[in-house]
Structures are given as structure tokens and as C-alpha cells.
Structure 1
Amino acid sequence: MVTNREHWVVKSVRIKNRIHRWLDIRFPEYRQAFDDILVIAHWLPCAGSSPSDILQLTSEQMVQIWSEMTRPGGERGKNKALELQSLARHSVGDTSALEEDKWELRHLIEEYERIRRIIDEADQMIEKGAA
């Protein structure tokens, strides 16, 4: 089971690296606002995925989307939304083939979440076997 789990961990790292690459190409400034890649990667498909899409939202709309994802709301969330909009306003990210890339990001995130569930299931099986 441990070998199986390791296989899925390697797959999850590959997917996470592809998500990093996507963000580095489309919205390289995101790291200035978020330490955790998956925070913004999960949020971007809801917001439209590109810096120009982010600029079409108000900070209140962004906080609303985050609150649905159990991210911080209130003043902290609003400040983070304003920071992200400022970064989006000056982004140097690639804007060609955006629709195709939005599709890709959505599927990468779905695949990452699916693999994480498999890893969690493997962890539970390993724990049962150790008990």
C-alpha cells in the first residue's frame, strides 16, 4: 500500500507543478499575494482565471467567492482582494489562448483534488494496517 501511495504522491507533485507553471505564465504576480499556490489556483476558476477577469470583480465579490470556499472574509479578505486586484492591474501575464488555458487550469485542479482524495484514502488504509 505504501508503494501505491507513493505513486499517487508523485502524480500529485506533477500536477501541482503544472498548476505552478500555469500561474507563472498567466499571472506571475500571484505569489506576492498568496504563499499557498492552491489557494489562488482554486479561486481563479471561480473568478474567471485571468488578471483581466479579476479586475472585473469588486473586492466584495471576491470576498464573497472566498467565503464560499471557507477563506477569510471581512476586512482581511477585502484587503487581500484589493492587493490581488492591484497585482492584476499591473500583471505581465500572457493573455493569448485564455479560454483554452482556463479549461486546462480547471481540469488540473480537479485532477489534483482527485489524487489528493486517493492519497487520503491510502493513508487511512495504511493506518488501519498499522493498528
Structure 2
Amino acid sequence: MNGWLLTAGGIAAATALVHATAGGRSVVRPLLGSAVAAEPKRTLHVVWHMVTADLLISSIALLALAFAAAPSTALVLFIAAQYLAYAALFLIVTLTADWPRPLLQLPQWMLLAPVAALALIGIT
């Protein structure tokens, strides 16, 4: 068993759960109740669920890889790159917004970055 990948998978699974529950209440519901036109509203709704699926599938993959005799380095690198990109995007958007305490306004990067780091450590 690879403890690094197991921990990465656990954090990824927790991230998926937080995304689907808390994020659904704080982001999706207000979006669907907004005055945004139907097409962009529904497109963003689908994108929300695409991210949910991605987070769930990647967490399952990391958990499975943690128990693999020889985890696929390419797959771990791919998943780590996704989480690193997601964390970077949250940081860029947050830091370019004119908000007080910007790093806490969109704290998702705090769950995404450790998954990438732990996954990378797990294959070294």
C-alpha cells in the first residue's frame, strides 16, 4: 500500500464531497435562481457536475492506485497535474480579485494543492 497515494485519494474524496454538498448550496443553487440567461446558466450547471464527476473519479483512481502493486506513474502524474492546475486557477482568480483576505475568499486551493503534492510524492 502506498500511504501517500492513499492520503491523496482520501483528501480528493473529501474534496469531492465538499464540492457536491457545500458547493451545491453556496454556488449552484444561487446560480440556478439567478437572472442569468438560460443557456449560460445550464452550461455552468453542467460544468459544475462535470467537475463533480472529475473529482469523484480521480479520487477513486487515487485510492485504487494506492493499493496497486505497481501504480501507473502516468496516471498519477495526470491526476496530480489536474489538481495542480485547479489549485493554480483558484489562486489566480482569487489573487486578481479586489477582495480583502483573498486567499480565504475561494479557499478551494487549500484542498486541491495537497492532493497534487501528495500524489507526486507518492510516485517518487
TM range (shorter): 0.3 to 0.5
TM normalised by structure 2 equals 0.39
Tell me which structure has the larger Cα radius of gyration. Answer: 1
TM normalised by structure 1 equals 0.37
